[in-house]
Amino acid sequence: MITFEGAAKIYPDGTVAVAHLDLTVESGRTTVLVGPSGSGKTTSLRMINRMVEPTHGTIRVDGHDIRAQDPARLRRSIGYVIQQAGLFPHRTILDNIATVPLLLGWRRRRARARAAELMELVGLESAQAKRYPHQLSGGQQQRVGVARALAADPPILLMDEPFSAVDPVVRTSLQDELLRLQRELRKTIVFVTHDIDEAVRLGDRIAVFRPGGELAQYDTPERLLAEPVDEFVESFVGYDRGVRRLSFFPARGLSLRQDMVFEAQDRVERAREAVVAGEDPWVLVVNERRAPLGWVSARQLTEQPSGLTLGSLDKAPFGHTFDVATDSLRAALDAAVLSPAGRAVGVDADGRVLGVVSQEDLGGAIWSVTE
Ligand SMILES: Nc1ncnc2c1ncn2[C@@H]1O[C@H](COP(=O)(O)OP(=O)(O)OP(=O)(O)O)[C@@H](O)[C@H]1O
Ligand SMILES: [Mg+2]
């Protein structure tokens, strides 16, 4: 556990980097510091490993005042990852990762073996061990940065905008990797970003800073989106927070209609009867393995001669599906909004259609969880 007790950093020129911070960072969890530029995120983070000394207040790690600890030793016991990785350009990837173990006096062989193990853990190919940082992509360099920070197995990991310099696709995959790593390693992670979506994705708890280095709100992502404490936080989390909050509710409880799902070899008249009985203007056509093929509208069905199979008709694309077991209401809503039929297709882990959900049913489900 890391505690800030009235911690502040005021520079000699009068700049208030951090005004007065009371904050408890739980062990084994990811705490995200988020806020606009200049709001004191980096300063707060660096006070933890004494790269910045607070001018007021106390910071404790597991109850121990960090002022009582040797800064160099403290720093070696805390992993630190920054934007653009900050790798040593003239050292190989393997030696970059082995840096801290070597500083701690490990034998070269052991340090390198540990580095090789970490390369695998963060998803790097062993063939890259002998390369130099400039021979890697930005995303790969960030992975090296994470591996290097983890090398001596520190209980605490500080990450300052580690994924900000890579493109959105790589960024998402790095976030996924971090979530996977954290499920395994359970480090105490303090992660700085100015991207609220990244904060919501990664954080167990989120601290929102406002200009002037003040803590505006400290909450779970769900509560932050549901109940921003004031207008600043509300505008910072974004006015679409209602929709984004749906990502915390599972799609599992949605009622899925199966009477509107037909196979390609089924005949037009069967689907027509279902459309009349079910009062639904769309049917979904699936193949023999129940993979979706596309939508057919009621109007289209009435225009077709009987006897034809659904497989022979033109179909509107089914868009993207949602996984009933693992996705959220947000994913289901997104699937419905993007579908030409206005309906979402729910599938199992193998992509087999379990049923379709209409916007009305989705609306009802959303209403009942968020009211
Ligand atoms: N050495 C310094 N002397 C004076 N002011 C400083 C110094 N270092 C930082 N500051 C100021 O402290 C404030 C907080 O800076 P900090 O780097 O913590 O912000 P940040 O939230 O990390 O911003 P960003 O999102 O841009 O990284 C800023 O106004 C900055 O200009
Ligand atoms: Mg910063």
CATH number at residue 257: 3.10.580.10
Q: Are residues 194 and 140 in the same domain?
A: yes
Q: Are residues 230 and 263 in the same domain?
A: no
Q: Atom of ligand 1 at shortest distance to CA of 33?
A: 21
Q: Separation of 261 CA from ligand 2 center, angstroms?
A: 52
Q: Are residues 149 and 221 in the same domain?
A: yes
Question: Of 213, 232, 248, which residue is a domain's last?
Answer: 248
pLDDT at 238: 83
**Residue 71 structure tokens:** 């800064």
Q: Does 258 sit in the ligand 1 pocket, CB within 6 Å?
A: no
Buried b (16+ CB within 10 A) or exposed e, 24-58: ebeeebbbbbbbeeebbbbbbbbbbbbbbebeebe
pLDDT tens-place string over residues 219-250: 999 999 989 999 999 999 887 888 888 988 99
Q: Are residues 157 and 260 in the same domain?
A: no
pLDDT tens-place string over residues 197-211: 999 999 999 999 999
Question: Of 191, 217, 248, which residue is a domain's last?
Answer: 248
Full strand arrangement of the beta sheet holding 343-347: 322-323, 343-347, 353-358
**Percent share of the chain, pLDDT over 70:** 99
What's the number of domains the chain is made of? 2
Q: Whose CA is nearest to atom 3 of ligand 1?
A: 11
What is the C-alpha separation between 318 and 346, in angstroms, rounded?
11
Q: Does 40 sit in the ligand 1 pocket, CB within 6 Å?
A: yes
pLDDT tens-place string over residues 259-274: 999 999 999 999 998 8
What is the C-alpha separation between 326 and 346, in angstroms, rounded?
11
CATH number at residue 94: 3.40.50.300
What sign does the CA torsion over 278, 281, 285, 290 have?
Answer: negative
- Are 228 and 216 in contact, with CB atoms under 8 Å apart? no
Tell me the pTM.
0.81
List 209's β-bridge partners, or say none: 215
Find the domain containing 51 and state its range.
2-248
Question: Of 248, 281, 297, which residue is a domain's last?
Answer: 248
Task: Report the relative pairing of strands 2-10 and 16-25 from DSSP bridges.
Answer: antiparallel
